[in-house]
Amino acid sequence: LLDKGEEKTGGRKRLNNLATLFESVLGAIYVDGGVGAARKFVKQFVINNSERLLKVKRYHNYKSALLEKSQSKGWGNPVYQIVHESGPDHNKQFVVRVNVNKRWIAKGVGSSKKQAEQLAARNALKKLENGKPKNYNNKRQKRKESI
């Protein structure tokens, strides 16, 4: 059950909500029917569907990948900065930029700071496939650094 605000902001598709729901259902089955019933549920709905579940795009930790790449090149640790935040508390939008090798090279927009940072890291990794980091927008770079 979701409240109206959560429903309107896509709460039904949020992975955290889905994981919590699965944990609750599995816990209720365990409490009501014991470990055997819980094991049967997992076998029927998880193990028997594992091929299909594994085809679903897996979560990738782009921040860790960017950190490893940056350190391997001797550029130090990436720095993330929130440059904009908007929207009501139940539906925030965050814009984050990432600095690699003393250059702001990419941005990310997300409904949480964590998501925006992950998207900024993903965008940075795409740019780094071609070598050294380049500023994402030289004209706006100087103005934004004063923020």
Percent of residues, the chain, with pLDDT higher than 90? 54
Which pair of structure tokens corresponds to residue 108?
Answer: 């990310």
| pLDDT value at residue 10 | 75
What's this model's pTM, rounded to 2 decimal places? 0.55
Query: Does the pLDDT at position 58 exceed 60?
Result: no
| pLDDT value at residue 57 | 56
Rounded to an integer, what distance in angstroms lies between the CA atom of residue 106 and that of residue 124? 5
Higher-confidence residue: 3 or 47? 47
Using CA atoms of 30, 34, 38, 44 in order, give the dihedral in degrees to the nearest 10.
-140
Contact 136, 128 (CB under 8 A): no
Mean pLDDT of the chain: 84
Cα angle for residues 140, 146, 147 (degrees, 5° grid): 90
62-145 under CATH 1.20.120.160, yes or no: no
List the chain domain ranges.
4-55, 62-145
Instruction: Give Cα 38 to chain centroid, integer Å.
Output: 30
